Structure 1
Amino acid sequence: MKKLLLTLLAISCVAFLYLGNMYWKEKTTLVASEEKTTKTIETSPSGETQVPQKEATEEEGKKDLDSLTANWPEEARTHFKELMKKDEPFKLAIVGSPAMGEDENGWAPQLKEKLLSELGSQVEVEIFQSDVTSIEFINGEESDNVLAFEPNLVLLEPFSLTDNSNQVGTVQNHESILMFLREMKETNEDSVLLLQPPHPLEGATYYPQQIEALKEFAGEESISYLDHWDSWPDDKTLSDYLIESQDTPNEKGHKIWADYLIEYFINESSEVS
């Protein structure tokens, strides 16, 4: 009988120790879980839930990019933000004549470098430089190459100066732009076209009239127009910003052009101009 009681007592002690150990482990796990939750979601003195630091940093980055693109056409900004949420790049095509200076650190390479520097992987930028008239552009592989890129935004310098030198009229120039716009929308209905003139010329008479007509045409067709001519000198010193033939800007001219476009595409001011 005594041995039986001792055996039962031993079994009871073992059971008590086991249950006590299980209770301690469960309580310890619960406390650790509560501490982890407290660290993850903190509250302010007013009782408001605080966003974890990593999420707050990511949200701040998105707001910064939204601010930098504040000058863009609204349709382009909306699509940019949609693609950013999907973590997909916004494609921007820079299209025009040799006045872009693709191989000479011209305004186009400077703009591309700035866009990639400020917007990073959120943008994909390609330069399409062609020594053709507007008619040759729309009828040749040059426009096909641009469309194959499937751009979301196209900055087009529509070969107006080249047309001027090759007796291509203003009407034909504008028709080529409209044809390209239609084909661009067929490729990507959300794509946006931006127009800009080539550089100004010193002593020209008919050419400025063509550019004024281009500006009016853009307004009539509701196409955004970037008028960088206001940034250039309007006197004889203009020749100091062009090569001798005036076919393209020189280094100083490219800087004027690039600075204007960079200020438009990368809004670093607190207010939108």
Structure 2
Amino acid sequence: MKAAIISTLSIVLVVVLVIGNIHWNIRDESPLSPIHSTNTPNEEESEPYFNLDYYKSYAALWPEQAQEVFEKKLTDKQRFRILLVGSDAIGDQDLGLITPLKEVLANKYDQYVTIESIVYDGTTSDYVKDDAYEDLIDKKPDMVIFEPFLLHDNKEKFDTSQTLVNINTVIKATKKELSDVTFILMPAHQLYNANLYPMQVSDIQKYAEAQDIPFWNHWEVWPDGKDEKVKDYYEELDDNTSIANEQGFELWSNYLTKKLIAD
């Protein structure tokens, strides 16, 4: 009986050793896989394999300054922080931009790029008057993707010049504290048959170009504002406002994904 138990244990041990050897030989060599160590037991273990160019390649479509900061952060093994700031038009955790963007960024950049969001329910003038941008600064982002509460300004019939002054105030105040931060402007969702709204978006785009601020116009992937099909991508709410629906947020987040992750 004793001999049979010893024989069985010997067979189990051989099987475990064989399976372990096979697993060792075929394991995936990802950019974060450890280097094969040739150290003796008394030597320090080698650091995990880290491919700087692997991560940089995905950021090829980022603004130049953001790419430079990203490279510095990677070199020091620090996180690059993206902050998405906007009105309720950017949605929330359940239906919006932040959740899909978190997932795709984590998948490509591992822990080296993070994204958070701040939603503000008010106009750009409210945002400036309340010094609400201090919450933005406290997050210490490296890149801010900013939807400047345009539908709220539109609802209050703001002149675009006031919106631009407010945007400039936010950017200037933030850069005073965070000199290396990169701002990117973008509009809220497309609307059907609007008159003033497209002109406001155009004015902001012209401002961005004049100030050398990237403007990510996701309307490029939406149906034209004069096409009734665009109504399939957002919902009208009871308080005379609107928000993108699941299809609209999918269009929008896919556009941002392609900007944030180069093929």
TM-score by length of 1: 0.75
- Structure 2 matches for 1:19-38, cutoff 5 A? none
Tell me by how many angstroms 1:58 deviates: 2.9
Tell me by how many angstroms 1:177 deviates: 1.0
CA distance in 2, matches of 1:139, 1:117: 38
Tell me by how many angstroms 1:53 deviates: 5.7
Larger helix share, 1 or 2 = 1
**1:238 matched to which residue of 2?**
230
Write out per-residue CA displacement over residues 76-133 of structure 1, whole angstroms, 9 at most, x where no aligned residue: 0110110111111111110001011114331232112222222122123210011110
Of the three residues 229, 247, 260, the one matched with 2:219 is 229
**1:183 matched to which residue of 2?**
173
Classify 1:71/1:53 alpha carbon distance in 2 versus 1 (closer, same or farther; 3 Å).
farther
Write out per-residue CA displacement over residues 228-254 of structure 1, whole angstroms, 9 at most, x where no aligned residue: 101001110100111134611000000
CA distance in 2, matches of 1:169, 1:247: 20
Of the three residues 49, 52, 63, the one matched with 1:58 is 49
- 3-state SS, counterpart of residue 225 of structure 1: coil
Classify 1:140/1:112 alpha carbon distance in 2 versus 1 (closer, same or farther; 3 Å).
farther
Read off the aligned partner of 1:143 and give its amino acid letter.
Answer: Y
- Structure 2 matches for 1:181-260, cutoff 5 A? 181-234=171-224, 235-245=227-237, 247-260=242-255
Of the three residues 133, 144, 155, the one matched with 2:134 is 144
**1:32 matched to which residue of 2?**
none
Read off the aligned partner of 2:65 and give its amino acid letter.
Answer: E
CA distance in 2, matches of 1:255, 1:207: 22
CA distance in 1, matches of 2:114, 2:244: 26
Cα pair 1:150 1:188 within 8 Å, conserved: yes
Tell me by how many angstroms 1:203 deviates: 1.3
- 3-state SS, counterpart of residue 224 of structure 1: coil
1:128 aligns with 2:123: no
Tell me by how many angstroms 1:63 deviates: 1.4
- 3-state SS, counterpart of residue 222 of structure 1: coil
CA distance in 1, matches of 2:190, 2:209: 20
Cα pair 1:194 1:223 within 8 Å, conserved: yes
Write out per-residue CA displacement over residues 157-214 of structure 1, whole angstroms, 9 at most, x where no aligned residue: 0111110001222011111111111111111111110001111100111111111111
RMSD: 1.8
1:76 aligns with 2:66: yes
- Structure 2 matches for 1:86-105, cutoff 5 A? 86-105=76-95
Read off the aligned partner of 1:167 and give its amino acid letter.
Answer: K
Any gaps of 5 or more consecutive residues in structure 1?
Answer: 1-51
- 3-state SS, counterpart of residue 223 of structure 1: coil
**1:163 matched to which residue of 2?**
153
Cα pair 1:101 1:109 within 8 Å, conserved: no
Larger Rg: 1
CA distance in 2, matches of 1:216, 1:56: 48
